[in-house]
Structure 1
Amino acid sequence: MNDPILQLDREQARKLSELGDHLRQLRQHNQLSLEQVAERTMIPVRILAAIEAGNVAQLPEPVYIQGFIRRFADAIGLNGAEFASAFPTETLQETPTTSWRGTVQAQLRPLHLYLLYMVLVIGAVSGLSYLLSRSTPQMVGLTDNAQTVQPSSHTLSPTVSRASNTSTNQAQLGPFLPAASPTIQPSTNPLVAQKPVRIGLTVTAQSWIRVEVDGKTEFEGVLPEGTQRTWMANKQLTLRAGNAGGVMISFNDGTARRLGEPGAVEEVTFDTRTQANWTLGTVDSANLTASNSNPDSDDL
């Protein structure tokens, strides 16, 4: 029994050879060189040559190959979208069974940690208040007349006698009188503020992704469909995608938007001044830079 994955690879190689040969013949008929086509499409010459030769080994993922074929065909006068649709991009991969610990939903995010810390602080304050209230001594069975006044040969006025009794009672019961309960001030929550630039990413179709946080490459690689990731930066965050149509991004927990067209390579930069433009939907302003250039040989 043949391996379906191997069959798909052979079908892609066969179809690429047919499409590449047709592109080569039409390019030569139009008297165009590979260098001229590369200037029009912004695709490296080595990629164009590999497409014409049907050399799958020198090309990236099938979804990128289809995008290159579309732009190649448009540059020499064909209907690129219709022509490129003949190249199969599907992949046959078994979905690995993962436990709940491996899912994105099970990953603790900073917000979860902050909420847990708040619950612990509130619980500690409540417990301390309860212990202090339980430790206050209770006065049971104490009366104002704790002593019997012995008769005296001197006659005291009622006012003087009452004051004397009050002073005596306070002096004797002083150590047992309840002390003033201390006032417990609610403690402030020392939560670390989130960084000012937060980008949420959802992959709806497999795409190559590179993320630079404050000038440093934080991630680079291919993310499969269904992946959800979040990155944060202090000043600036730049995201570059090889299949912009399969990438949804949200800025500072705002509305998620598609980065670009399927198969297109897009790059977008966010910083602390992007909030107003993102809210208004002007994502192509000076503070949010996008480019349609393709990845160079290192990116592919």
Structure 2
Amino acid sequence: MKPLTQAQEKQLQEITQHLLRVRQEKSVNIEEIAIQTNIRLSLLKALDAGDFDALPESVYVQGFIRRYGDVIGLDGQALANTFEINDFPEYTHNESQNSAKKLDIHIPLFVPYALLLLLASVGLIYVLNSKLTPESQAKPQNAVPTQETKTKPE
């Protein structure tokens, strides 16, 4: 797991203590939570113990909090939203300028189809036209070649 910031660690500590307190008040075993949430028991125990180094990335931890809260009767989504995640890289000003400079070219879908149709038409005309050349029309189609017999001078 990426190291948590102090603010994240404090938020996570408060959330996990609240979850543990509510779970114990309702007398729900942690094994039952693991079965109902499909979260590994070792990860739930790490959450309850405050062993945050044993946990995966904070985006997953946020999902664990949501499912854990839902199972014990809390609003898991609201509870998960109190845990701030910042695993995603911050974009710098230069990156946003570069993305603004990129051209946003939109080619309508009919353009490639029209080009494909044009190329197919040209190819078809070429193939058919080779059969209709003047040379091919000059030759009779069913003509039998005649052989001239030449006599040898004696």
TM-score band w.r.t. shorter chain: 0.5 to 0.7
Match of 1:14 among 10, 28, 34: 10
TM-score for the superposition, normalised by structure 2: 0.56
5+ residue gaps, structure 1, are 106-111, 138-176, 182-300
Tell me the equivalent position of 2:134. 136
Tell me the equivalent position of 1:123. 122
Q: Which has the higher contact order (CA 8 A, sep 6+)?
A: 2
Tell me the equivalent position of 1:48. 44
Equivalent-residue separation in structure 2 for 1:9 and 1:22 (angstroms): 20
Tell me the equivalent position of 1:23. 19
TM-score for the superposition, normalised by structure 1: 0.33
Higher strand share: 1
Supply the AA of the counterpart residue of 1:77.
G
Match of 1:178 among 134, 138, 151: 138
Tell me the equivalent position of 1:148. none
Deviations 1:58-102 (A, max 9, x none): 33343332222122122223222222221113444145668x8xx
Q: 1:1-300 residue pairs with structure 2 within 5 A?
A: 9-94=5-90, 120-133=119-132, 135-137=133-135, 178-179=138-139
Deviations 1:89-116 (A, max 9, x none): 3444145668x8xxxx9xxxxxx8x998
In the TM superposition, structure 1's runs of 4+ consecutive aligned residues that sit over 6 Å from their partners are 114-118
Equivalent-residue separation in structure 2 for 1:115 and 1:53 (angstroms): 65
Equivalent-residue separation in structure 1 for 2:16 and 2:140 (angstroms): 90
- For 2:138, what is the secondary structure of its paired residue? coil
Equivalent-residue separation in structure 1 for 2:7 and 2:29 (angstroms): 28
Shift of 1:55: 3.7
What is the aligned residue count?
Answer: 125
Identity %: 31
Higher helix share: 2
Answer yes or no: is the 8 Å Cα contact 2:59–2:87 preserved in 1. no
Shift of 1:49: 1.5
Supply the AA of the counterpart residue of 1:126.
I
Answer yes or no: is the 8 Å Cα contact 1:20–1:52 preserved in 2. yes
Supply the AA of the counterpart residue of 1:64.
Y
* Cα distance, 1:117–1:19 mapped onto 2, change above 3 Å: same
5+ residue gaps, structure 2, are 107-111, 142-154
Answer yes or no: is the 8 Å Cα contact 1:17–1:53 preserved in 2. no
Deviations 1:196-253 (A, max 9, x none): xxxxxxxxxxxxxxxxxxxxxxxxxxxxxxxxxxxxxxxxxxxxxxxxxxxxxxxxxx
* Cα distance, 1:131–1:40 mapped onto 2, change above 3 Å: closer
Q: CA RMSD in A?
A: 4.0
Supply the AA of the counterpart residue of 2:9.
A
Answer yes or no: is the 8 Å Cα contact 1:20–1:54 preserved in 2. yes
Supply the AA of the counterpart residue of 1:41.
T
* Cα distance, 1:180–1:57 mapped onto 2, change above 3 Å: farther
Shift of 1:119: 5.8
